[in-house]
Structure 1
Amino acid sequence: MASSRLQIQGDESVLLRVTHSNLKSFSADVRFSLQMSVESVKEKLWKKCGTSVSSMRIELYDDAHSKIADLADDSSPLGYYSPLDGYRLHVIDLDPSSVTSGGWLEDTSLVEKYTISEEAYEKRGGTFRKFKEKLVSQNPSAFEAKITDNYMEDLCANIKVGDRCEVEPGGKRGIVKYVGRAESIAPGFWVGVQYDEPFGKHDGMVKGTRYFQCPSLHGAMVRPDKVKVGDYPERDPFEEDEI
């Protein structure tokens, strides 16, 4: 590659798509300064995908999916390879024992989940169950009167299965999978949501009743007043501000 291709001025930057050899679902648009060294690019990518700098090889592809170059010289600036907006950096992890291998960063079913026994939970103070029991004991009639079979039914009028939605608190996004009563949980109307990310508590089955089907830890049953439907596209968890 001729040195005449090196043309870097000021704080020029480029927006590149990043993919990974082990993480098949990983894809992110990341902005890089053309003045960054290849080593600095690797350090930035390490924070995003988990592959160590010493085990990382980077390939550059153009927008027609043709390979342009191997970014083999850690001391060269990124601009030396003349990347353009829309080009792709492909990260290759050379470490067979890397944290990115074996699907651990993509398949949450491989992660050991924290659980607590019913006996241990009962012994804990300050839980929601204890708080609810206290409210019921203080005024059981008022509590029962508030939660009726038609509780929040009116708020479900504009919520349909298949709608994109955002759930508060936290602005968690997903798709509506169920709208209706859920007697196994509590009286009134509920909305079943499949989150885009594993922010949920189940796979659509609650207390032995299957309300909908979704991946493990992506499901949640929430009250309709917590759900806003509309144009809520899936967020890119790796997207960052421009430098």
Structure 2
Amino acid sequence: MAKHMPTVHQCQEMLALKEYVTARDSTRYDGMAEGNLRLDVSHSNLVQRWHDILFNEDMTILEVKEKLFRHGGTSVAWQELYLRRGGSDTIFLMDESKSLRHYGARSGMEIHIKDLDPHSLSRHGGLEDVSQVEKYVMADEAYGRLQNSVRAQRRAAQEAAARGRATQGQEPDAQAAGPLEMTAEEAAAAFPLGSRCECDPGARRGEVCYVGPVLNAKGMWVGIRLDEPQGQNDGTKDGRSYFDCRPKYGCFARPVNVRVGDYPERDPLASDDEF
């Protein structure tokens, strides 16, 4: 496959961009106090680099190592320093008694730290690769019991939304449930078929006739055959029949809005004003 060669215009643009980016390189270190140097620092075990670290050209290599210990964490005894003066021009700063001036250090050059410690914490990404850090993992059951967790807050918000929809008499919809729902086994155990129950809104009473998912709705639902015509259907939702009852005697409610227990059918002739 033929290589794409840049046009003359593209070359001119790249040269112009380079001149713009490097326009002040020649004056970058003007105004610095005499004897001061700005050097970049790199480390053999670290991806991180330090730019324009301030040194004095009269610092000995030992003093430089002591300063670099605070940046890279490698103790003085385990450091080998190299001065990269541009391109392939790299020299070993072997004599700790000699100064940076002796080795010809200039602002803009780079000092490279070679960590010789075989037990260094920074080896193999030990100080930068967070995947190597042992993390505390809480058991899902323990997390589920917390009252101030994100999961508890989401569950409370979902239940509040479900109660709001139920108060408005709405049928199950695709937005009515979230990922933090009862399992089918939990719902079946909590709402046995044939159990008497009371559901909101309106404290309507009836019998549990279905427990499980509903077409086009998320989560678990309780299908109830009501004692009175206070429902929205006949046990059918979106063309699928879940249980049988007369029209307006069926409803689907979220588990949070259903209470199972001793809820006998109300006497329509009873009065709250009589004993």
The structure that has the greater radius of gyration is 2
So what's the TM-score if we normalise by structure 1? 0.46
Higher strand share: 1
Give the structure, 1 or 2, with the largest relative contact order (CA under 8 Å, sep 6 or more): 1
So what's the TM-score if we normalise by structure 2? 0.41
